[in-house]
Structure formats: C-alpha cells, structure tokens
Structure 1
Amino acid sequence: MEDKKLDEKESLIIITEMIKNARTNLRAKINCNTLLIWGYTTVIISFLVWFLKKNSYISWSSLLWLLIPLICIPTTLYLHSKDKTKITSYIDKSIFNITILFALVCTTTALSTIIVDFPILFIEQLLISMMIVIVGALINYKPIIWGGITGIIAAHILLFIPDMVSQIPIFAATFILSIIIPGHIFKKSTSSHV
C-alpha cells in the first residue's frame, strides 16, 4: 500500500466519509434488524409457551424456548454475512461478538434448568438487558441504553411473582419495552442517515 500525501480538504473528506460509513453501517445494516429479530422472536415464543402452559395443552411446552436461539442465532449469522461493507469497525465486531456470546450464555443457562431449578426468566432477562445496555453504550444511543435499563428493572419484578407461568407475559412485555420499541426508534433514526 502506497502512502499518499493528503491536503487538509482531502483529509477532512475522508474522515467525514469514515464517520458517515461507520454510523450507517453500524446502525442500518446489522444491529437494528438483529435487535428486532431477537425481540419479536422472544415475544412470540413467550406468548406461545404461556398459552400452552396456561391451557395445559402440551406438558413439554418449555422446550419451545429452544426455538429462540435456533431461529435467532442463524439469522444473526446470516445478517452478519450479508454485510458487504469493506471496512468493519471495532464496534461492529464487538457488537457481533457480544450478541453471539450472550446468546450462547443464555442458551446454556436455560438448558441448565433441566438439572437445577432456579428463576430462569429473571436471569435471562437480566443477561439480555445487560447486553442491550452494553450495545447501547457502544453505539452511544440513549433509547437503547434506557431500554436495557428498563429490562434490568423489570427483571427484578419477576422475582416477586412466584408462579413461572405468570412471569411469562411480563417477561414478553419487557422485551417489547427493552428491545422492540428502542429497536424501532433506532431503525427510524438510521433511515434518515442512510
């Protein structure tokens, strides 16, 4: 690669373009849609599990929770592979790795309830909300940060509801408040930049 001397104007143009590309790449291409896919999938599966448990149709309906990572992890990987941007920023890589890490931790934590009984919805909501706060901080976007904080607070409310079946609708509603609504605000803000 050859070094080329740039004047002030050329340097400013390149810096401005890099900032614009980082914002539009980060916001528009992967992260917003990934948030929404995880949010909507979790809400739909949550209400499906709640309905089946509430009406006692299927005794093994808890296994349907496994559909969340089975749907969302491949979709996240697919969306990441569709990104044809030449430059991937450190923040882009960090968010992708954080998303996959939290997805795997949440999945293995949920699987451990087969062996040990513990308040899984509280732990899952807490972990996911922490991830949302971290992602929001990385991209410096306050609605995402506040969505994650809302999720952390709501996770603690789950501890006061003794029956897990009764916790499920609150768990789902928390995803609407902490992921889906901030995700749509995020998506709307990015469409004006792209």
Structure 2
Amino acid sequence: MEDRKLNEKESLELIARMIKETQENTARYAAYPLLIWGYTTVLVAIVIWCTYLLTGSYKVNYIWFALPAIAGPFTWFFSRKNDKRGIKNYMDRITNQIWLVFGLVGWFLSLVAFAGKVDILFIIPLLMGMATTLSGCVSKYKPMIISGTISTTLSFSILFIHGTDRLLAFAVIFIIMMVIPGHLLNKKMKQLCSKN
C-alpha cells in the first residue's frame, strides 16, 4: 500500500470520523462501572440485611466478599471492551486513578473492619461519594457531582442510624451515588451516539 498525503478536506473528514468512533465506543461503556458496582452493592447490602433478619448472625457480613467477586469480573470484562477503542485520554486516566486510590483504601478499610472497630457502613459511602464527586468534576458531568455530594453528605446520617436499618440506608446511598447517575450517563451517551 502506498502512503499518500491527505488533502485538507480528507484530513478533516478523517479527524471527524475518528472523533465520532471514539465517542461511540466511549459511550457504549462509560456508565457500566457505575451501574455494575452500584447495583451489586445494593443487592449485596439487601441480601445481608435479609439474611441477618433471618439468622441473627453477624457472620452474614462475610457475604460482603461477594461484592468484588461479582462486580470485579464484570468491570474487567467491560473495561477490556472499552480498552479496544484504542484511545485513552487524560480524563480517562485521571478518573481511573481516582477510583483505584479510593477503591484500594476502601478495600483495605473493609478488611480492617473485620478485625477491628471501623464503622465501614459510614466510611465506604463517604469515600465512594468523594470519588464520585471527583470523577464528576474531572469529567464535568453535573449529575455525578451532585449525586456524589449528596451521597457524601448522606453518609453522615448512617452515624445516627442503629441496627440493621443502617444497611438499608447504605443501599439507598449507593442508589443515589451510582445507579441514578449511571443511568443518566448511559442515556446521555446513547443520545450523543444517535446524533452522530
């Protein structure tokens, strides 16, 4: 194949096509991590709540280990599909770093909670709410900023709730923090793709 120089019109068309393909590929998978982790967290919290009401055993907290076991592979699967788009911009890298740092801190504190006295049902929504807010700030997506800020604020309410109802409050916070903005983002991205 022979290399040839593109004229101005062909260059602009190539750039426009590449931007459109990047937007479509990004849109296809952008909201998946929010939805995967949001729904899985809500489901696990409700299962633990129901199981505790039936058994009365605090050993039901080991069910939390199902959260990364379920959400992790799905996130990995969709992130691999997302990586096939070939282009990672600065915002993608910053957002990934935010979630890596907050996720690792949350994971470490969750492990410590099994050994010691850590109010994990307060700390996790606080951390994840801050990560959601920061991700919204980086991407300039207001629904994430708003939902992250509301969730961070609501996490303090868990300090005043006692008993198993704390799990329900925890689940509601994750619906506000991840599920709602995940669906809004998914809808917005699909609309962007359909316009192009």
TM-score (norm 1): 0.86
What one-letter code is carried by the residue in structure 1 that aligns with 2:175?
I
Distance 1:114 1:85, change over 3 A: same
Corresponding residue for 1:110? 110
Corresponding residue for 1:154? 154
Distance in 2 between the 1:77 and 1:105 partners? Answer: 19
Distance 1:129 1:142, change over 3 A: same
| Larger CA deviation: 115-124 vs 55-64 | 55-64
Corresponding residue for 1:52? 51
What one-letter code is carried by the residue in structure 1 that aligns with 2:164?
V
Structure 2, unaligned stretches of length 5 or more?
A: none
The 5-angstrom pairing of residues 88-103 of structure 1 reads 88-103=88-103
Distance in 2 between the 1:164 and 1:17 partners? Answer: 55
**Is 1:130 equivalent to 2:123 in the alignment?**
no
Corresponding residue for 1:33? 32
Count of residues in correspondence between the two structures: 190
User: How far has the Cα of 1:171 moved from its partner?
Assistant: 0.6
8 Å Cα contact 2:22/2:85 also seen in 1: no
Distance 1:167 1:59, change over 3 A: closer
CA deviations on 1:5-41 (whole Å, 9 max, x unpaired) are: 864x556545545554554443332x30111000000
Corresponding residue for 1:43? 42
- 1:88 match: secondary structure: coil
Distance in 2 between the 1:42 and 1:62 partners? Answer: 13
Structure 1, unaligned stretches of length 5 or more?
A: none
**Is 1:80 equivalent to 2:117 in the alignment?**
no
- 2:55 match: secondary structure: coil
Distance in 2 between the 1:58 and 1:97 partners? Answer: 37
CA deviations on 1:62-99 (whole Å, 9 max, x unpaired) are: 01111112222232222111221121212223323333
- 2:31 match: secondary structure: helix
| Larger CA deviation: 16-25 vs 46-55 | 16-25
User: How far has the Cα of 1:179 moved from its partner?
Assistant: 1.0
Superposition RMSD in Å = 2.3
Q: Percent identity?
A: 32
Distance 1:17 1:131, change over 3 A: farther
TM-score (norm 2): 0.85
8 Å Cα contact 1:73/1:103 also seen in 2: no
| Larger CA deviation: 102-111 vs 43-52 | 102-111
